[in-house]
Chains A and B, each alone.
Chain A
Amino acid sequence: MAKDILRKPGGFMDTFVYKPGHDKKNTHYCPGCGHGILHKLIAEALEDLGVADRTIMISPVGCSVFVYYYFATGNIQVAHGRAPAVATGLKRANPDSIVISYQGDGDLAAIGGNNILQAANRGENITVFFVNNAIYGMTGGQMAPTTLVGQKTMTSPYGRSVENEGHPIKIVELLNALESPAYLERTTLEDSKNIAKTRKAVRKAIQCQIDGKGFSLVEVLAMCPSQWRVSPVESKKWITDNMVPYFTPGVKRDVIDEREGYYPERPEIGSETILELLGLRKEKLFRDRSMSDVPEKYRNPQIKVAGFGGQGVLLLGQTLAEAGMRYGWNVSWIPSYGPEMRGGTANCQVNISEGPIGSPVVDFPTILVALNKPSLDKFEESVQPGGIIFYNTSMIDRKPARTDVEVIGVPFSEIADELGNLRFANMVVVGSILAKTKLIEMDIVKDALAEVIHHKKFIEPNIVAIERGASAV
């Protein structure tokens, strides 16, 4: 504390420009709120450690959701409880940044319980400030996992009972059961002595990350005078009397000095690496083409492909979408299937369009492919008038009843069986669609196939199947 003047630390923004309303200088917190005190300690530490410009704060859901109003750092506001997961991604992608997750007890200990547990267990090199005020403050004072036994809240009006709600969660002790964390401490804001300890802990936790020592978490017992229904000054004593006996303060884990700093390189991943990792090829066949040579009724098709899982329904749609992309057209593909890998029902919805695609969902297809009877029964009525139904006569013993659509029956499964494998049926369909609609040319679909089929030895037989399908209509 060598400073001659103590005033608003540099870790704060000068003016809280993102805060709505006229008051750009004060926090939104209630008078006497513990968040304000901890904010000040963090802002001061960021300034003194000289890391504010490379710090990313993560704001939780709760009163401190507006962390981004105040700190002169980067910020991401994340879904309830997910701060440790986002912090993990940020830190791994940007190892030079200082990633601070700021979370309350509802956020961290309830909905985000597993997130914090797994991040701590992985030993992520992040810093977590866990504000424990034993209640859900923002939403109106409901019971939190850390609510004390006997404590009355909106949702425990007779007081929390062990029989009904169990004991309050001791997060620091829980995480201390793990091997990975480097530094775990619980502090309180009950008086100036303990605020000084908290100040030290905040610095130590951030320094731990700077030094690459791994996961650090400081649980801060903070006051919520508004929801505790006490005055700000009384709230200090409330911590002393009620929280401290159960949530005992102190350093629970400190192995910082035993560890070597770990400084991973920032991963440099170029587009070539991504292509390689995804098994995609660099050399692709592209061709500028408009749909003007496609018969008008087949242009900009909205396709639904339906059948049993295992019939290759999804791959069929993927092949069409992938091929459409080669012409520079817009495409979309969404799968819809049950939990079974094989045997359930599956369908996919594909749009291929020269213009923008409003929605990837195809409720009323212009092309329906029905590979089994349930699919025809279910989707026949949804086909747009003037559309086209391809149906698998090998497995469907009735002709579609619609008279206002084009109906094409092909024994897709039998053809595939003749070719040696029932699973080629989907590519027989692709061939039939190409031949009928002239939407996609043979060389393009072959090139697309190389993208969607990862085992090279299957590409050739699938091409044979496509050609057979093309000659079947």
Chain B
Amino acid sequence: MPKIVVQIDHCKGCGMCIDACPQKCIEEDSDVLNKLGYHPAKYKGEGCIGCGICFYTCPEPDAIIVYKKDEVA
């Protein structure tokens, strides 16, 4: 299954990815305050289709990694 990984301490919690995700499978992690002082984005764990929209809408270089295919590494 495709998936995304949010690198927690790279996220500024702007919410752009949450808003843009067509599958609505990203949410704000209100339980976590990261090193930058934001509630980072969090993958809900399912629903990702690997479209990459969150990656391109994210202003930080390395906050989101999108794995389009199964279990790539």
Write the residues of chain A forming the contact surface with B, with a CB cutoff of 8 angstroms: 1, 3-9, 12, 23, 25-27, 29-37, 39-41, 43, 70, 191-192, 195-196, 199, 225, 231-233, 236
Nearest chain A CB to B6 CB, angstrom units: 12
Q: Are B62 and A32 in contact (CB under 8 A)?
A: no
Q: Is the contact region of chain A dominated by helix, strand, or loop, or is it mixed?
A: mixed
| Sample of 4 further A-B pairs with CB below 8 A, known A5-B66, A233-B19 | A23-B35, A25-B9, A26-B10, A41-B56
Within 8 A of A (CB), among B9-41: 9-10, 12-16, 18-20, 35-36, 38
How far is it, in angstroms, between the C-alpha of A39 and the C-alpha of B62 when the chains are bound? 12
Q: In the complex, what residues of A have CB within 8 A of residue B63's CB?
A: 26
User: Which of B20, B62, B73 is the most central at the interface, judged by chain A CB atoms within 10 Å of its CB?
Assistant: B62
Write the residues of chain B forming the contact surface with A, with a CB cutoff of 8 angstroms: 9-10, 12-16, 18-20, 35-36, 38, 52-53, 55-69, 72-73
When the two chains form the complex, which single residue of B36, B56, B59, B73 contacts A29, counting CB atoms closer than 8 Å? B59
Q: Are A32 and B65 in contact (CB under 8 A)?
A: no
Q: In the complex, what residues of A have CB within 8 A of residue B20's CB?
A: 191-192
Select from chain B the residue with minimum beta-carbon distance to A22: B35
Q: In the complex, what residues of B have CB within 8 A of residue A9's CB?
A: 61
When the two chains form the complex, which single residue of A5, A26, A31, A35 contacts B68, counting CB atoms closer than 8 Å? A5
Nearest chain B CB to A224 CB, angstrom units: 12
Q: In the complex, what residues of B have CB within 8 A of residue A7's CB?
A: 55, 62, 64-66
How far is it, in angstroms, between the C-alpha of A37 and the C-alpha of B38 when the chains are bound? 19
Q: Are B56 and A199 in contact (CB under 8 A)?
A: yes
Nearest chain A CB to B56 CB, angstrom units: 5
Q: Is the contact region of chain B dominated by helix, strand, or loop, or is it mixed?
A: loop
Nearest chain A CB to B35 CB, angstrom units: 8
Nearest chain A CB to B20 CB, angstrom units: 5
Nearest chain A CB to B65 CB, angstrom units: 4
Q: In the complex, what residues of B have CB within 8 A of residue A231's CB?
A: 15
Q: Please, could you name 23 A-B residue pairs with CB atoms under 8 Å apart, sorted by A?
A: A4-B68, A4-B72, A5-B72, A6-B64, A6-B66, A7-B64, A7-B66, A8-B62, A23-B35, A27-B59, A27-B60, A30-B12, A31-B14, A31-B38, A31-B59, A32-B59, A33-B59, A37-B56, A40-B59, A40-B61, A43-B61, A191-B20, A236-B16
Select from chain A the residue with minimum beta-carbon distance to B66: A6
User: Which of B12, B13, B36, B69 is the most central at the interface, judged by chain A CB atoms within 10 Å of its CB?
Assistant: B12
Q: Given the known inter-chain contacts A6-B68, A26-B10, A236-B19, please indicate yes or no for A195 contacting B57, CB distance below 8 A.
A: yes
Q: In the complex, what residues of B have CB within 8 A of residue A34's CB?
A: 59
Q: Are A26 and B36 in contact (CB under 8 A)?
A: yes
Nearest chain A CB to B11 CB, angstrom units: 9
Q: Are A39 and B61 in contact (CB under 8 A)?
A: yes
Closest 7 CB pairs of A and B: A36-B59, A32-B14, A31-B14, A31-B12, A232-B14, A6-B66, A8-B62
